[in-house]
Each structure stands twice: as structure tokens, then as C-alpha cells.
Amino acid sequence: MMAGAGGSELRALLGRARKRRGTFGSGAELCQAAVQLLDRHQNLNDLLLEVEDLVKPAGESGKEHQEALSESFIVSVLQEQASRLGVPAAVLAAKNAVTNIEQICQPSASPSQVPLLNLDQRERLSCLLQTVKDLLVNNVFSRSHFCQEIWKMQDLPVLEAVWHLHRGNIIGLGELLESNPDAPAVVEWLCSSLCALCEQAEEPSQDTLRSRFFRMAFSKCQSWEGGVLDAVGKEKQEDVFTLQAMRFWLNVFNVSIYRSAVHPDSLQQFFRHTLTEVLTYNPLLKVSDAIRMQREWSFTRTCSLLTALYRKLFVAFSAKESICQLQQVLETHEVNWQHVLSCVSVLVVCQAEAEQLFKDLLSHLLIKAFENYDMENMITAFLIARQAALEGPAVFMPYSEWFKASFGSAGGQHGSSKKALVFLFEFLSELVPFEVAPYLKVHIMYPPFVPSKHRSILLEYITLAKTRLADLKVAIEDMGLYEDLSSTDEAVQPQGQALRDVEKALQIFENTRKIPTSVIEARRPYYISWFLPALLRPRVLPKAPDVCMAFIDSLKRADKIPSNLYSTYIQACCAMKEKMLQDESKVESSHSKEPIEQLKAELAELRVLIVDQAKHEDVPAQIALISDRLSSVLGHSGDENDTAALSTRIQVNVFDPKLEPCHQSVVDLLLTSFCQNLIAASYFNPPDRQGPCLSLFVKMICGHRRLIPALLGRLCQLIYHQGPSLNDAHILGLAAFVIHLSESRSLIPEVEADLGISQPVAEKVLSISEYWSCLLVCRTKESFSFCTRFCTAAISYLMCKFPSFSRDDLCALVPPSLVKKLQYIVPRLSLEARGITCEEGKADLSWSSLSCPSLNYRRASLCLWKQARFQELLKEKAFQLSFREWLLLELEVHPEEDILSASERQDFHYWAIYQWYLPAPSASGGCDGDLEKACGIIINTILDFSQRLDLGSYGQLKMSVNPDILCKLQELVLELGCRRKSLSGCSDAKSHFLFKILQERLKDRKHNSALGEQLWRQQELLLHRRILVGLPASALIMSCRKGKKTTLDCEDFFHFVNSELKNVCSRGYALPYDITSHFFRGLLNASLDCEEAAEAVNDVLTTCQTKCPIVLLSAVLWWPRLEPVLCSQWKRLFGAPLAGELERLRECQSSATGFLSSGGVFPLSGPPWISAAFLHCTVQQQSPRGRERNLLVSLLFFSLMDLISAKIAPKEGVDFQTSLEWSLEILQCLEERGASWPLLFQSAEKGSRKYFVLHSAASACHSRLLPLAFYSLTPGFDHELLAREQLFLYVALDLYLQLLQLFVEGKDLPRTDQVGQGQDPVEHGDPVEVISKARRFLHAATPRCPARSFGNLGPLLAACDQLDPELGAILRRSGPAAALDLDEELVLF
């Protein structure tokens, strides 16, 4: 029978009963009739719903009578029905009640279940619940069976129905929920119902009802909270279904589901109360437990239930509000330290603003602690600082940095008074029994600042800390050379730390080829007991010595490895080679694939979160998991969080970056993930709507400092070596990655880039921004294209990512090198850009268009160039490309592979120099319109650039000066000369600007070694010579007005030659042909400005004889090549006979040639040394026979210069043996004539000015090597020479001491590897053999010298005693009598 039919029939029956009163004699008869009727229809469900109709208002007495009648009626029916079915009446009532509820809650039309009832359903449910209450009063209703039947319903009940059951005290929500053993299903039903309730359309009439529902649900949520928090501590023991239920329950705290259903204040109040309950739940852990165990409560190690709960709670608050709530709980409650510190970790990982907020909180806690000497605030500050530091430097400063910043200076809170200082150390001392080793090491190595008068307090604490370390079996003496003092891992055993120290030392040695200072100064116990055993681990030695072998060899030579230990090592290596040769392939163990696969899985999960903007809040936690997986892949290393790592430069070999295979695979995985994430996120949203996900990802990578060298090395490979071959997606990804690296630049140490050049080390140290400039080179068409695309993508991404940044914020983030590259490239490639300053709003910067693969990169760069924000950047000094920087970039271009044609490049240079930089103010990198300043910048830049190049062969550069830039320099120099003449009629400058520039470059240059200084100076002067030769010849000479006469001034050129240029001349007494010819051609050109050209030339050459004789000697040496050039030029310019001094030089050449060919008398014309020079040079060129010897002493000097040149510059074409034979012949001629020649070897500084002109013409190097030449002549020394020349012994001893000093200093002496096999080393100038020969000569000659030869040896004896004590003793034994004789002779005078 249908429910409706049954109801109407029952009403009809009751109605008829009222009409036929006489049929039933009593109420009992009526009940009996009703029971019989029900028996026929059997529908208790309808009865429970319809019985309420019996209760009609009929006065109080009537109502009470009818209610009693109704109750007894229902009970009677249930009991009768139950007895027939054989079940308890209470069970039957419960089952029928559930059936009714299921029918009532059944949705009418909506396919999805809704949490609220309509009016009809609500009325029917009210009738049912009234009946159930009556049954409960009569104990004819089973709550337990009712709960069981509820959960058996096909569709679980509507939330409002459950609320009515709860509100009517029929069955409580808690009792109902806990009666279901399937916890996940219960949680899912409740959470989904609450979510559906929030999604209901807003109706004012439902607000009160909805609020009541939430209060009921939240009260139950709080009762479940304890269950979740209990599960936190035993997550691994709980069954999977319980954990699943707990995780689903956390959905109750999804703020998004409540929307406007709950007032924000009420929601925050509930969340705040929940957070307080979590932080104070079961506060049993002591502070000592927290100190000992807190590293187990880091973000990745904390129970996922707890971290998920925190993250959901924090959505309702800002970071500041969350930390304020945490602070309030700490100040007012007993807390669960595990929950508090886990909360700190979650905040610092998931909230970008938390780092600074926690720093402020820590400062506040320390201030309060020292104000009131409160230990609680102190311990809270220390625990929070350590907990935040556990999450790595990417999110919070290492503990060692915080400790140093807080207590490392007198400005710390502890520095205010002695009481404060004592309070700090009392606190630290109380921590000691519970401390772990890493924190004790921080306190010892970076102790708090203590005034000297209170030093004993610090020493007492250090003693206590060392005792604790000893208890932990960690000796401070065993601390590693590069040990991490802020590591969050457990204390590393000395064996492990020693292995890391060896790895670090090898890395430093590989880059510097020097034993690291830390190794040399290492504590002996650690060095002997741990470091050396770790270094000398037996292995199969490679055929070619590797870095490790070279390092061991260097230590052995420095006596840093005991001989027995070294022998044992070699023997063990040989034994291992014999035993393990067949297993060599197994030596290199590969990393477990499992951590890599886990890392890949987490990276894939990150991509899912990044592309969904609604899931961005989960990104920080996912990145923390990735960081943990990355640590597992890399292996836990103490160096990755080391504070000292920030000051340890990263070494990258730009030309050949080498990466460990394991590190390269990890870096590639991370870079690939970043690029994929960027492209995927950009598909859905522009950069400014992608959130901080990518920034956090890159910051996390930078926190793994062990990976940074590999990361920078890989970026070097991709950008510097493979850049032009990268596709657009790669370029976009890497460009964005570089921008985010700049965001995290504070985490990246300086880069020491090995550029394969000879510049000073200080110039190799680069910031991360300068490192990008080093990698982004513009040399060829391909590299120009890549650099343009990369820089355009990077700056465009930055501006699209941070469109609301102010100019200051943008400037702080933009890498200046990228802006400067664009400032160089865009005007170079686009004529349009050369006239643009700012066109606001003319072209919008669209990321979607910039990320289009088919976009023309020139058009994209021009679009960026036109942006007002970009033009605003160019006004900042830090981003302005100076003239010098522009020149350096232009000098790198390979003209034959340039993206511009020769004519286009010429036009660009003209615009850049004459239209842009020359008139530009110096404040913006220009020249203020000053031609001289422009010339100086160009010259200095060319020289700086050229110094970066290695020398190929001696004196020859691999790469010549850029001809286009040199051409512009020539134009400027000519224009400068013309302008000066037009202004004053003649140039009247006090000094030549060109030589002033060159001289300034040679001042105050600091190098690490004297040899480095010498080599740099040689190369610099060679470059100076190339610059001078490249300029107009007349630029070397200035003209000046004296009265009405114009004269030529070469003083600056002469000074430069005498002081610098002659010292790099391989021939010793003559300049190279190029600069010699250039000077003489310039001299003739400059004489055009003089009224009497021949007279002006004669004056200059006459001045040369005394002020710069090397110029004339150079002309003599190169006269066969120089004469036709000068004669032709003179004829072109003047058409008159040669100037007198030039004609005299030609006559000397002719005389020398005639003398050597005819054997007649050699005519003397002018200074004898010029004639000797012509004679010497002619002899060298013609190799004559049967010579007459005149001017022999000067001739001997020139031959000795050739002798030295043959040793130090063998490629100059001078043969050593020929020069030696020629010198010995000259010496023999001098001896035959009894001529005095020893003073030729004495410089003017030592009292002999007889040969000053000759010495002034020689280079400093040749002058220093005169002792080598002197003792190469010993076979030609005659025995009579000792008696004839009183000064011979003095000269010989002085030269011997100079020779020893050169050998000791290791300077100037030629190498010994040029002495051929089977040749006499002495005859070929081998330094060691020459020194031995000289020593034997002096030992033999000293006893034969007359007594007067010893009289002037006094100043030399002290040096002789130091360098050769044996010879000094011989000289002293031979000297006294001679000294007495000399004194007697001196008295006669």
C-alpha cells in the first residue's frame, strides 16, 4: 500500500470512528479495531509520519489526553509488529525511522545532493522527530541501531537532517560520526557536505541556519583535532585508512570553501583558536628535548599531517599575523616545542616575508631577554633561530651568521654591561650539557665579543664547551680545514670531514697550483692523523699525473709528507694496481638511481602546481620537498650551508668548464625543469601572474651551495660555448633563470673566472652580473644574434614579471651587464635606435609576442628599446655604457665575421664616437668634447684589451690591434694636432699627452711577484711600441716656438725611450726597426713646421748624442734599410741635400764599409762610439777577414751586447758562438795593445762615467747580464792582466757577486735548456757552468793578485761572506798586508 493511500485510509477510519460513536463501546475497542486495520496494511513508516495529525488543539486536558492516546497507540502498534517479526520493538522503530529519513532526504529533482532541506521535507522531518522523541521517552527506540542503519543508507543523510537529530538530542553528531568504522567515508561525507553548504546560493533566511551548522561542525572538528595531533607522533604506525581519513579531515580548513558563508572575523577566530590548540597540545617536551631533537622537526622531516594543517591555517592570516599569533602563544601558554618549531619551519619555508619578520622577532626577544635577564626569551630566540636556519640559506641565514650578527660585536645586546655579558655566558653554559657538536663549534670558532678585561669569562665557557665536545667524542683539534660550522646535519666524523677537506684543497690547488694556506697552517694533530690518511688513500695511479698526484708531489717537496708515509702510499698503490686491475671499471661507483627518480617525480609534481594558479600556495612546500630530494642526490655535505662558502670564490674555467657527470645530470635536470615550468606557466598566464614559484625554485637551488659551481659551469657551457645553437625555448628559459639568479645574488659567492689571459688576478674576480657579461660575447654574426635574443628575452621577462616595480626596485634587480649589452647591440644593428631617446606608449611590451618562436629578434630588441621604462633605466649611471666599455666590446668583434659589413661598421663607429661619446658628458661615460681625453680612453682601452691576450713568441702578439679603432685613433690624433696649431700657431703644450698617457700606465702597478711585474711590463711596453708605430709618425714629436723660431721638441720621446722602451729591446743597444724608422720619418715630417728644416733635424740628432744615444745606435744598426727610406722622404719633402747629421751617418757607413774591404785607415768622424757602432754592425753584416782593430773598447761593448742577446733572444738571429769568438778576438787585440778595458763593466752608479754613453744606450736587462758576458770571456784573460790592472780583482769580484745574486733571485738569467748535446756549457753561456767557472777563476786568481788589488774590496767582503763564505775567507787571508801597503801609499798622497 502506498504511503499516501495508507494515510488517507487511516484518516478516513478515524473520521468514521467519530461519526459512529455507538459502534465501539470504549476506547479499548477502538484501539483493537485500529490494530486490526493496521495488520491488514502493514505500514509502520506511514504511521510514524501521520500520527502527529492526531494531536489537535482541544484545550489542555484534551491535548494531554490525545498525546497519551497517541503515544500508547504507536507503542502498541510497534510492539505488536515486533512480536510478529521476532525483533525488539526498539530495533524495529530505529529501522523504520531511518527508512523515513531516507525517503524525506531523497532529492526531488536535483541530481546532486544538497545540504539543506526544503520546507516540505523540513515539516515531514519535524513530525518524524517528534514521534521518535516519544518513542525514546517510552524506551521503544535504539540509538545504536539507529546509527548503524543511518550509515547503511544508499545515500547518506542530508547535513540539515543530521543537525536536527543533533539539535533535538535524538542522536549527537559525535556519537553518530564515531559509530561508523569507516572513518575516511565519514570524513568525506562531513567535509563534502560543509563544502556544499558553502556553495549554496546566498539566502538571508539561511544565514542563521548555516552559521548553526558550522558551529556544530567546528565543535566536532576540534574534538577530532586531538586525533590528528596524536597521529603526528606515530604517522608510520597508523594504518593507511586512518591517515587517509585524517588527511581528508584537513579539508575542513580550506578557507576557499567558506567564502562568504562565514564571516571572516569568525573564521579567523576559529583558525586562531585552532592554531593555539595545536601549539599548546600535550606540552610534555622540555626545552632540553627541543635543543637535542629540533633538527628532526625541520619542514621535510615533520609529519605531513602537521605541515598540511599549518599551511591551511596560515591561509587565513598574513605572515605577520601568523608570527604575531605564534609570539602571543609563546608568551602566554605552555607549548609543545615540537609543534612550535615545526610551525616555525613551515612559516619560513612557505611565507616569503617570514625571514625578515623572524629576524625582527628574534631582535625583539633578545632585547626583552637582556632587559629583564629572562632566560625564557633567550631560549625561545635561540630555538627559533636554529629552527629557521635548519631550512637552509635560501630561506633564512645560517645559525653561525645569526650568532655572529647578534653577539659578534660590541654593539650586541650583551655589550651593554658586565651583567649582560655574564647573563649571556650563563645562558650558553646552561645549554652546554644538551648541545650538539655543530652549535658548540660555532660558539667556539665565532665567540661573542668580549672586552679584554673580561676575557676569563669567555675562556671559561670555551673550556666547558670543549669538555662537552670531548664527551661527544668530537675533538676541536680534529676540526676540518674547511668544516661547516652551520651545518644542520649531525656532527661529521673526522674521517668524513677529512675527505671533504681533501676535495676542497685539491680544487684550490687545481686553480692556483699552490698549496693552500689552510693546508700549510693546518693543526698538526688533525693534519697527521686525518688529512694525510685521507689524501694518501691507496688507488690505481693514472698514467699521466693528475691533480691529486701533483698536489701530493708538491707537499712532498715542501716536506709536508713524512718519507715513510709516502713510501707506504706508493707501495699500496702498486699493490692495488696488481690486485684490482681487472675490477677497474667497478672502482667508480655510480649514484643510486632511486634518489634521482624521486627528484624527477617531485619536479614533475611541481610543474602540475605551477600551471594551476589555484595551487600556488602549495608550491613552497613542494619546493622544500625538492630541496630535500636534491640533498639526497648530492649527498649530505657540510659545505653546502657553510657561512664561509659565501667568501669562498667559485672557480670557473670559462674556456673549458669541467663538470662531474653526476653534478651535470642534476643541473641539467633542474634547468630543464625550470624551462618547462616557465613555458608551461606562460601558456596559461603572463609572468606577472605566475606568482613567486620560479623565484622560490631558483632560490632553493642557490641554497645548495655545493651545486653552484656546477650550475655556473653548466651555464658557461650553454651560454658561452653553445649559445648560438640553442633554440628559442632554451634561450627564454635560460634568460629567465638568469634573472631569478640575480634575485638570489646574495646567496652566490664571487666568481673567479679563468679566462685564459694574462691579466692580474684581481680583474678575474667577478660578481654574478659581471659573469654574465663574460659569457655573453659579441664577436661573430652568430654570437651577435644569440646575445641579442638572450638579453632581449631576459630584460623583457624582468619587465613583464615585475610591471609594478618602481625604478629603484627595478634597478636593484636588473643585471647591469645585460642592459649594457643591449645598449651596445641595439644601436649597432638598428639605425632607428641611434636616434631614439624615449617613445612612451608607442610600442607595448607583450610577453606573448616576445615568447613567440617566430619573432624577429631585431624587431623585438627595438620594441624593448623604445619602452619608456627601459629608457628610464638607461638614465641610471649603473646602466650607462661608457666609452671605454663600448670600445672593449667593439675590440672583441672579428671584422671578417662581423654581422655588419665594413661600410656599415664604419658608419656605426663614426656615429658612436663623433655623435655619441665625444660630445657626451663624462658623468654618462662620454668625453666632454675633449679630443685629448677621447684619445686617452682609446689608447688605454686598446692596451687593456691587448693585455688580455697571451704572448705567442717573444715580442709578437697573437692578435693585432683592431684596424678600425686604430684608424679612428689616428683621425683623432691628427685632428688634435691640427687644432692645437690653429689655436696658437704652434703646439705649446708643456708635455706630450701621448707619452703622459703611456707613462701613467706604468706607475703603481702591483703584482704578486717580481717576475709577474717584469713579464707584465715587458708585454705592456711591446704594446706601447705597437701603438706608437700605428699613429702618425709626426705625433711622436712636438713643435714649439722659441721667439720667432719654431723648434722640434723630442724630450718626452727621449725620456720614454731611456726610461722604458730600451729595456725591452732584444739587441740591448738598439731599438727595433719599426719604432726607429717611425721616429726618423716623424722627425722629417715635423721639420716641415720649422723655418730651417735641416737645421732643426741637425739639432735633434745632435741632442740625441748626449740625451738618447740609443736612437742613433738604432739608426746605425738599421742604416742599410733606413737610408733609402729617409733619402726618398727628404727628397719628396724638400728636394735639397740631406741634413748634415743624416749625411754624416751616411758617410760613417761608407767609411766602415770601405775600411773593412780595403784595410786602410779608418777615418774618425764625430763621436768614436758611433764609428765603432758602424764598424761593429758592418762586421756583423759582412763577416770580413783580416781585420785591423781600432776603437776596440766600444767595439767590445757592442759585441758583448750581441753575446747577451744571443742568450736571451735566440730568435733574433744572433749566434752565440760567433759573438763569443768575435768578443775574444777583440779582447785579444786589447791585451796586445795593453789597453785598459775592465771599467767597461762598471756602471756609472759605481763610480765609472768613462763609458756612460754606452751604458745609457743599453737596456736594463743587458746591463744586469754583463757579469754573464764577463765570465764567458775567461778563456781570453791574460795572466799579466792581474798585475797590470789594479781594479781587475775588484771588478771581477763585483761581477761574480752580481752573478750569484741573479742566480739566487732567479731573475734575467737565461735557461739552461738551450745548451746543445755534446757542446761545452761554458762556451754556450750556461749560467750554472759559468758561475762554477767564475768561482774557480777567482780561487785561482786571488793569490796571484798584487797587494794593492785588495785595498778597495772592503765594501764587497760582507756580501761575499753571505753568498760565498769560502771565497770571502780566501780574500781576507790574502788582504791584510796588501791593505797596509795601500794605506802607506795613500799617506804619501
Other CB atoms within 10 A of residue 888 CB: 17
Distance CA 895, CA 902 (A): 8
Residues ≥6 apart with Cβ < 8 Å to 681: 610, 611, 690, 693, 694
Residues ≥6 apart with Cβ < 8 Å to 172: 166
Q: 865 is written with which cell numbers?
A: 628599446
Q: For the segment 814-832, what is each residue's pLDDT rounded down to a tens digit? A: 999 999 999 999 999 988 8
Pairing of strands 650-653, 751-754: parallel
| Nearest in space to 272 (alpha carbons), one of 217, 232, 329 | 329
Distance CA 625, CA 633 (A): 12
Compute the radius of gyration of the chain from its Cα atoms.
Answer: 49
DSSP per position, 154-170: SSPPPHHHHHHHHHTTS
**pLDDT at residue 985, as a whole number:** 47
Distance CA 1165, CA 1175 (A): 12
Angle between helices 304-314 and 337-350 (to 10 degrees): 60
SS (H, E, C) 535-578: HCCCCCCCCCCCHHHHHHHHHHHCCCCCHHHHHHHHHHHHHHHH
Residue 233 has pLDDT above 80, yes or no: no
Q: How many whole angstroms from its chain centre is CA 220?
A: 53
Distance CA 95, CA 101 (A): 10
Which residue type, as a one-letter code, is found at position 756?
G
Which residue type, as a one-letter code, is found at position 1242?
Q
Distance CA 502, CA 547 (A): 12
Q: 22 is written with which cell numbers?
A: 455507538
Cβ–Cβ under 8 Å, residues 1047 and 998: no
- Averaged over 606-627, what is the pLDDT? 85
Distance CA 1206, CA 1194 (A): 19
Pairing of strands 1038-1042, 1045-1049: antiparallel
Q: H or E stretch including 349?
A: helix 337-350
**pLDDT at residue 643, as a whole number:** 46
Distance CA 1258, CA 1068 (A): 5
Task: Return the C-alpha torsion angle 525, 528, 534, 535, nearest 10.
Answer: 130
Q: 1290 is written with which cell numbers?
A: 775588484
Distance CA 484, CA 619 (A): 29
**pLDDT at residue 940, as a whole number:** 92
**pLDDT at residue 1008, as a whole number:** 63
Mean pLDDT of the chain: 78
Distance CA 1204, CA 595 (A): 67
| Nearest in space to 1019 (alpha carbons), one of 947, 959, 936, 945 | 947
End-to-end CA distance of the chain: 162
Distance CA 800, CA 783 (A): 25
Q: For the segment 981-999, what is each residue's pLDDT rounded down to a tens digit? A: 655 544 445 678 888 888 8
Angstrom distances, CA of residue 385 to CA of 262, 887, 1226: 37, 50, 85
Distance CA 846, CA 858 (A): 15
Please report which confidence band the pLDDT of residue 367 belongs to, taking 50, 70 and 90 as the band edges. very high
Please report which confidence band the pLDDT of residue 1313 belongs to, taking 50, 70 and 90 as the band edges. very low
Q: For the segment 839-880, what is each residue's pLDDT rounded down to a tens digit? A: 444 455 556 655 554 457 788 888 888 888 888 888 888 899
Which SS3 state, helix, strand or coil, does residue 957 take?
strand
Distance CA 1051, CA 990 (A): 11
Residue 758 has pLDDT above 50, yes or no: no
Q: 1236 is written with which cell numbers?
A: 785598459
**pLDDT at residue 913, as a whole number:** 94
Please report which confidence band the pLDDT of residue 341 belongs to, taking 50, 70 and 90 as the band edges. very high
**pLDDT at residue 7, as a whole number:** 38
Q: For the segment 949-984, what is each residue's pLDDT rounded down to a tens digit? A: 643 333 333 446 788 899 999 999 988 877 666 555
**pLDDT at residue 382, as a whole number:** 94
| Nearest in space to 946 (alpha carbons), one of 1011, 1033, 1027 | 1027
Angstrom distances, CA of residue 731 to CA of 138, 678, 852, 1221: 81, 12, 12, 68
Angstrom distances, CA of residue 855 to CA of 265, 846, 975: 51, 12, 45
Other CB atoms within 10 A of residue 878 CB: 12
| Nearest in space to 936 (alpha carbons), one of 883, 872, 873, 1012 | 883
**pLDDT at residue 816, as a whole number:** 93
The per-type count for the chain, helices as H runs and strands as E runs, is 66, 5
Distance CA 452, CA 447 (A): 13
Q: 232 is written with which cell numbers?
A: 603526528
3-state helix, strand, coil in the chain (%, to 5): 70, 0, 25
Distance CA 48, CA 77 (A): 10
Residue 1235 has pLDDT above 60, yes or no: yes
Q: 272 is written with which cell numbers?
A: 586562531
Q: How many whole angstroms from its chain centre is CA 131?
A: 78
Angstrom distances, CA of residue 713 to CA of 500, 654, 700: 20, 8, 18
Angstrom distances, CA of residue 234 to CA of 231, 305, 729, 898: 5, 11, 46, 69
Cβ–Cβ under 8 Å, residues 1188 and 1157: no
- To 5 degrees, how large is the angle CA 943–CA 947–CA 948? 125
Cβ–Cβ under 8 Å, residues 1256 and 1110: yes
- In 5-119, DSSP assigns E strands to none
CA atoms within 13 A on the CB side of 1312: 11
The DSSP bridge partners found for residue 951 are 957
| Nearest in space to 382 (alpha carbons), one of 449, 287, 453 | 287
- pLDDT cut 70: percent of the chain above it: 76
Cα dihedral 1283, 1285, 1289, 1293 sign? negative
Q: For the segment 441-478, what is each residue's pLDDT rounded down to a tens digit? A: 889 888 899 988 888 999 999 889 888 888 887 766 54
Other CB atoms within 10 A of residue 572 CB: 14
Least confident of 103-112, 337-346, 1338-1347: 103-112
Q: For the segment 1080-1124, what is each residue's pLDDT rounded down to a tens digit? A: 999 999 998 888 889 999 999 999 988 999 999 999 889 988 999
Distance CA 404, CA 412 (A): 9
Q: 241 is written with which cell numbers?
A: 585508512
Distance CA 380, CA 327 (A): 10
Pairing of strands 751-754, 1038-1042: unpaired
**pLDDT at residue 357, as a whole number:** 94
Q: H or E stretch including 653?
A: strand 650-653
Which SS3 state, helix, strand or coil, does residue 410 take?
coil
Distance CA 629, CA 625 (A): 6
Q: For the segment 1248-1275, what is each residue's pLDDT rounded down to a tens digit? A: 567 777 778 888 888 888 888 888 888 7
Least confident of 10-24, 477-491, 895-909: 10-24
Angstrom distances, CA of residue 1182 to CA of 1122, 1156, 1179, 1316: 18, 9, 5, 27
Which residue type, as a one-letter code, is found at position 318?
S
Q: 99 is written with which cell numbers?
A: 527508512
CA atoms within 13 A on the CB side of 1214: 26
Which residue type, as a one-letter code, is found at position 122?
R
